[in-house]
Amino acid sequence: MLSTRLVRKGNHILLVLIAEKLKEEFTDVAFIADGLGCDLNLMNNKGRNDLAEHSTIVKLSVPNPSVALNLWAQFPASENPQALNTILLADLANQAIGRNQGFRFAGKPCVVLIDPMYARRLVHSDLLRYVPTPWSFHNPPQQTLTLHGPMTAMERRLSELLTNARNFGMSAKGGMPIGFNLPEKQRTMYIDWLNRNNVVYKHLL
């Protein structure tokens, strides 16, 4: 599990660029995310068996307040919105992680990217059905990476891209060629990100 602010709306389009870059370098990568127009999201991934042979990356951001309010209506005694959000995130995480872990485990990792507001809370909530390492989930437990265990090549590359995400997104030789060739909705989101960050790019279109 990796804690990153990139899951937030202002910069989350960069995760699409990163995922596409990883797909170029590692053909088995699948990206599961809401709010980005991805083929796989936190709803349509449920129950799927075809991701067992993929290394998965899951984006978890703070739930929409309207969703939390619906849950609050079911648990009126609760006065802690963060606790309700943690329940929601745990359910989404368990569903997404289960696409290639648990009884579907075929040696592939699942990396969960989560908002820093909830990373520690979720890990210590006892709501997750899977064993987290500092960067991903691996099952069965005896194959779980230790704190000092080696990362896979994909995990190392993902960590590198996350660390340099903004520079990658602004790079004419990095993220730009990917961003300009995304499907229309994602391409529009990327161009909006470039504009908001005052990046000169129109000469490259």
Tell me the pLDDT tens digit for each residue of 157-178: 999 999 999 999 999 999 999 9
pLDDT of 50 above 70:
yes
Q: Using 50, 70 and 90 to split pLDDT, how confident is the model at 150?
A: low
Residue 197 structure tokens:
């960050």
CA distance 78 to 102: 31
What's the mean pLDDT when you consider all of the chain? Answer: 86
Residue 10 buriedness (CB in 10 A; 0-12 / 13-18 / 19+): exposed
Given a cut of 50, whether residue 133 has pLDDT beyond it is yes
Provide the pairing of β-strand 110-114 with 55-60.
parallel
Beta bridge partners of 137: 110, 132
- Is pLDDT at 149 greater than 90 in this prediction? no
The angle formed by the CA atoms of residues 195, 199 and 201, to the nearest 5 degrees, is: 95
Please tell me the predicted confidence (pLDDT) of residue 148. 37
| Model confidence at 203: pLDDT above 90 | no
Mean pLDDT, residues 141-154: 54
Nearest partner of 92 among 60, 139, 123, 137, judged by Cα: 60
pLDDT at 51 exceeding the cut of 90: yes
Confidence of residue 144 (pLDDT cuts 50, 70, 90): very low
| Higher pLDDT, residue 134 or 123 | 123
pLDDT grade for 63, boundaries at 50, 70 and 90: confident
| For helices 65-74 and 81-97, angle between their N-to-C axes, nearest 10 degrees | 100
Beta strands in the chain (DSSP E): 2-3, 29-32, 55-60, 110-114
Mean of pLDDT values over 133-142: 50
Which has more confidence, 17 or 151? Answer: 17
Residue 13 neighbours by CB under 8 Å, 6+ apart = 36, 169, 179, 186, 189, 190, 192, 193
CB 99 within 8 A of CB 48: yes
Reduced to 3 states (helix: H, G, I; strand: E, B; else coil), residue 2 is: strand
pLDDT at position 143, please?
38
Which of these, 23, 3, 7, lies nearest to 15 by C-alpha position? 7
